[in-house]
A and B are shown apart, each in its own frame.
Chain A
Amino acid sequence: MTVQELPGAGASHRSTPPPAWSPRTDAAPLLPDPEPYRVLGTEAADRLDPELMRRCYAELVRGRRYNAQATALTKQGRLAVYPSTVGQEACEIAAALVLEEQDWLFPSYRDTLAAVARGLDPVQALTLLRGDWHTGYDPREHRIAPLSTPLATQLPHAVGLAHAARLRGDDVVALAMVGDGGTSEGDFHEALNFAAVWQAPVVFLVQNNGFAISVPLAKQTAAPTLAHKAVGYGMPGRLVDGNDIAAMHEVLTEAVRRARAGGGPTLIEAVTYRMEAHTNADDATRYRGDAEVEAWKAHDPVDLLERELTARGIIDETAIQAVRDDAETMAAALREGMNADPVVDPMDLFAHVYAEQTDRLREQAAMLRAELEAEDQA
């Protein structure tokens, strides 16, 4: 066969013209609004549900306290490292609150707080960062996937799980969290594409906190917003103020509802800010100035809600104090839990590599046991 004879080589060989290209017409509007969606401080706040907002407020205050306590634990050397979510609490809390018990959360390494807000024991949530075991809880029990350290790699898992649940006829939605930097990874794009093609019941929540370690969003993407990335895959993209918990709750609830009803995935970009350094090992002064951080302080998620709810008489000083006391109790329990020295068994090294121990691992386990016994005797 010569090159000319190859099928499709050269337009002149086409006997019939290609079929007319027809764009999909059945799709919901995909483009995000140009401005992040807001509720607090707008007319939309008139329809706030006081009960829900009181709950959100209590969780926000607890979340803030949790961040402070975990950071303090790194200073005491109890945690190797803690990626703080101060400033991002509204995203973390809303993500946990909109899910039903049977739904699944797929957090990134930064999202310990979302896992705790979903009900995970704070000490169990921190073992990864303390260093006693990688995942200190049973994901099936809590329907929280392991906190994912390799970026964006949990997103295809969320799609697969949601797809599987639907194949089985189960009413399950998966909510997957990722940072702005993570949206550059191939896994992010593959996950979005699969989710849209399969119309899987997944919600992708991007917390755009301005930086991937030191790299600002402008060096991460040339798209107008990260929410725009949804369009090319055929799913709606939503842009929302990530510090406005009422807006977060509303947009996430809508996305979860649509996923549950068979309407397919949604990509949500929450615009927020990382108030602290990437982790305690990072020096944020190398890549950003104080002025920027100061400006975001005026848009603090806890203050925003507190002001709105106080102005509307939904909470008062007494209620605020009660919430703070409750957060203090949680922090004290966390401190106590983390200050107990964890008991680790070196033989655990071999316990969970395979369902059935291999001869090789048995040999290595015996060698370690002998070493430990010799140490004990010494």
Chain B
Amino acid sequence: MAQALTRAMRDAMAEDPTVHVMGEDVGTLGGVFRITDGLAKEFGEERCTDTPLAEAGILGAAVGMAMYGLRPVVEMQFDAFAYPAFEQLISHVAKMRNRTRGAMPLPITIRVPYGGGIGGVEHHCDSSEAYYVATPGLHVVTPATVEDAYGLLRASIASDDPVVFLEPKRLYWSKADWRPEAPAAVPGIGKALVRRAGTSATLITYGPSLPVCLEAAEAAREEGWDLEVVDLRSLVPFDEQTVVESVRRTGRAVVVHEAGGFGGPGAEIAARVTERCFHHLEAPVLRVTGFDIPYPPPMLEKHHLPGVDRILDTVARLQWEN
């Protein structure tokens, strides 16, 4: 996946001279995850810039650059280090189009490696998507496959609106059969995809939890469950249609994500599914999420992260008897 992200930025920069990449350590080092590797060499330090260490400054400067016609792609080094930039994000990035009656859109892509499962020390594993999806004016997307890493990042950079691009860091090293010579065309921002067809219930998920859900769906066959798995790909906008169609087919739904459950994206999704599918549902919409706790230290994270067993236990509860 890392390679696909690099390639997406490279292609975007080659095609459009207004695309600029910036952030901490993105130049010479190529980023701490090496996602910007080689960009400074190919396009020069003015287009792939090591900034001073200041997230509010980075995003604030990106606002000004976008106001003047550039397309900044900003890297936040880790989920929890994006927080100093929230003032800029919420007060300006998300609101500029609206404040200016459409006169000043901000085509900024904010790349944030997020989520746990890599044994990182504290402040390196937050699932921060709930903060972003609660802020009107931002698109929030997250790839779970190598094709999407490329396709969604290209779409984000091309978007005239600000996009928070959440990179599931534990999937950076996932290798799939992806040929960079011919990047596959994938649907852009706002479209969910059925990753596995099934008939007995729908798992609705995104980002780092997609592979876990696919594994759970395989395991569930033994129990006689044929699970459908929907990958949202984009949290804002939310593809209600794909989700609703799936749940109407299967009659049961479980939302799975790593972020805490209370006020997490799953709460919104469960509410929408209930509103739209009430007469089709055989059971309440259930959720499998991280606990409502600060992200734990590495030695405990396996107990916190939603895994296959927790998903299967929840699926079993869909055998609802009134």
- Interface positions of A (Cβ within 8 A of B): 80-81, 109, 127-134, 149-151, 181-182, 184-187, 212-215, 219-221, 281-282, 286-287, 342, 344, 346, 348-350, 353, 360-361, 364, 368, 371-372
CA distance A146 to B94 in the complex (A): 34
Whether, in the assembled complex, B101 has its beta carbon less than 8 Å from a beta carbon of chain A, the answer is no
Chain B residues whose CB sits within 8 angstroms of the CB of A349 once the complex forms: 291, 293, 296, 300, 303-304
CA distance A286 to B310 in the complex (A): 43
Can you identify 22 A-B contacts, CB atoms within 8 angstroms?
A81-B121, A131-B119, A149-B121, A149-B122, A150-B80, A150-B83, A184-B57, A212-B53, A213-B32, A215-B25, A281-B32, A286-B30, A344-B297, A346-B303, A349-B293, A350-B293, A353-B292, A360-B262, A361-B291, A361-B292, A364-B291, A368-B291
Contact bitstring B297-310, A, C-beta under 8 A = 1, else 0: 11110011000011
Chain B residues whose CB sits within 8 angstroms of the CB of A149 once the complex forms: 80, 121-124
Whether, in the assembled complex, B56 has its beta carbon less than 8 Å from a beta carbon of chain A, the answer is yes
| Nearest residue, chain A, Cβ from B122 | A134
CA distance A344 to B271 in the complex (A): 37
Chain B residues whose CB sits within 8 angstroms of the CB of A150 once the complex forms: 80-81, 83-84, 123
Chain A residues whose CB sits within 8 angstroms of the CB of B24 once the complex forms: 212-213, 215
Contact at B53–A286, with CB atoms within 8 Å? no
Cross-chain contact of A215 among B53, B80, B296 (Cβ < 8 A): B53
Contact at A344–B84, with CB atoms within 8 Å? no
Whether, in the assembled complex, B54 has its beta carbon less than 8 Å from a beta carbon of chain A, the answer is yes
CA distance A349 to B303 in the complex (A): 9
Q: Evaluate whether A182 and B53 lie within 8 angstroms (CB atoms) in the complex, with A128-B121, A213-B24, A371-B310 already known.
A: yes
Whether, in the assembled complex, B294 has its beta carbon less than 8 Å from a beta carbon of chain A, the answer is yes
Q: Evaluate whether A346 and B300 lie within 8 angstroms (CB atoms) in the complex, with A129-B121, A184-B54, A214-B50 already known.
A: yes
CA distance A344 to B297 in the complex (A): 10
Whether, in the assembled complex, B158 has its beta carbon less than 8 Å from a beta carbon of chain A, the answer is no
Contact at B298–A186, with CB atoms within 8 Å? no
CA distance A134 to B122 in the complex (A): 6
CA distance A282 to B300 in the complex (A): 25
Cross-chain contact of B121 among A80, A214, A344, A361 (Cβ < 8 A): A80
Chain A residues whose CB sits within 8 angstroms of the CB of B310 once the complex forms: 371
Chain A residues whose CB sits within 8 angstroms of the CB of B27 once the complex forms: 214-215
Contact bitstring B121-142, A, C-beta under 8 A = 1, else 0: 1111000000000000000000
Contact at A221–B52, with CB atoms within 8 Å? yes
Chain A residues whose CB sits within 8 angstroms of the CB of B123 once the complex forms: 149-150
Chain A residues whose CB sits within 8 angstroms of the CB of B309 once the complex forms: 371
Contact at B83–A220, with CB atoms within 8 Å? no
CA distance A337 to B193 in the complex (A): 50
Chain A residues whose CB sits within 8 angstroms of the CB of B318 once the complex forms: none
Chain B residues whose CB sits within 8 angstroms of the CB of A109 once the complex forms: 121
Contact at A131–B53, with CB atoms within 8 Å? no
| Nearest residue, chain B, Cβ from A212 | B53
Chain B residues whose CB sits within 8 angstroms of the CB of A215 once the complex forms: 24-25, 27, 50, 52-53
Cross-chain contact of A186 among B32, B50, B57, B124 (Cβ < 8 A): B57
Whether, in the assembled complex, B29 has its beta carbon less than 8 Å from a beta carbon of chain A, the answer is yes
Looking at the assembled complex, report how far the CB atom of B121 sits from the nearest CB atom of chain A, in whole angstroms: 6
Chain A residues whose CB sits within 8 angstroms of the CB of B293 once the complex forms: 349-350, 353, 361
Q: Which of B276-322 contact A (CB under 8 A)?
A: 291-294, 296-300, 303-304, 309-310, 313
Looking at the assembled complex, report how far the CB atom of A70 sits from the nearest CB atom of chain B, in whole angstroms: 14
Looking at the assembled complex, report how far the CB atom of A148 sits from the nearest CB atom of chain B, in whole angstroms: 9
Whether, in the assembled complex, B18 has its beta carbon less than 8 Å from a beta carbon of chain A, the answer is no
Cross-chain contact of B297 among A134, A187, A219, A368 (Cβ < 8 A): A134
CA distance A342 to B294 in the complex (A): 21
Q: Evaluate whether A132 and B297 lie within 8 angstroms (CB atoms) in the complex, with A181-B53, A186-B54, A219-B50 already known.
A: yes
Q: Evaluate whether A186 and B56 lie within 8 angstroms (CB atoms) in the complex, with A213-B24, A349-B303 already known.
A: yes
Q: Evaluate whether A286 and B29 lie within 8 angstroms (CB atoms) in the complex, with A364-B291, A371-B309 already known.
A: yes
CA distance A186 to B52 in the complex (A): 11
Contact at A368–B52, with CB atoms within 8 Å? no
**7 smallest A-B Cβ distances: which pairs?**
A131-B298, A214-B29, A184-B52, A181-B53, A149-B123, A346-B303, A184-B53
Whether, in the assembled complex, B28 has its beta carbon less than 8 Å from a beta carbon of chain A, the answer is yes
Contact bitstring B1-36, A, C-beta under 8 A = 1, else 0: 000000000000000000000001101111010000
Looking at the assembled complex, report how far the CB atom of A10 sits from the nearest CB atom of chain B, in whole angstroms: 26
| Nearest residue, chain B, Cβ from A134 | B122
Contact at A353–B294, with CB atoms within 8 Å? yes
Contact at A128–B299, with CB atoms within 8 Å? no
Contact at B292–A360, with CB atoms within 8 Å? yes
CA distance A149 to B123 in the complex (A): 7
CA distance A132 to B120 in the complex (A): 12
Chain B residues whose CB sits within 8 angstroms of the CB of A286 once the complex forms: 28-30
| Nearest residue, chain A, Cβ from B292 | A360
CA distance A150 to B124 in the complex (A): 9
Contact at B294–A187, with CB atoms within 8 Å? no
CA distance A346 to B262 in the complex (A): 21
Centre residue among B24, B30, B291, B297 by max chain A CB count within 10 A: B297
Chain B residues whose CB sits within 8 angstroms of the CB of A133 once the complex forms: 297
Q: Evaluate whether A220 and B53 lie within 8 angstroms (CB atoms) in the complex, with A286-B30, A348-B300, A360-B262 already known.
A: yes
Looking at the assembled complex, report how far the CB atom of A79 sits from the nearest CB atom of chain B, in whole angstroms: 10
Q: Evaluate whether A185 and B291 lie within 8 angstroms (CB atoms) in the complex, with A131-B119, A215-B25 already known.
A: no
Looking at the assembled complex, report how far the CB atom of A209 sits from the nearest CB atom of chain B, in whole angstroms: 13
Chain A residues whose CB sits within 8 angstroms of the CB of B84 once the complex forms: 150, 185-187
Cross-chain contact of B29 among A130, A221, A287, A346 (Cβ < 8 A): A287
Q: Which of B29-72 contact A (CB under 8 A)?
A: 29-30, 32, 50, 52-57
Looking at the assembled complex, report how far the CB atom of B70 sits from the nearest CB atom of chain A, in whole angstroms: 20
CA distance A184 to B120 in the complex (A): 24
Looking at the assembled complex, report how far the CB atom of B131 sits from the nearest CB atom of chain A, in whole angstroms: 15
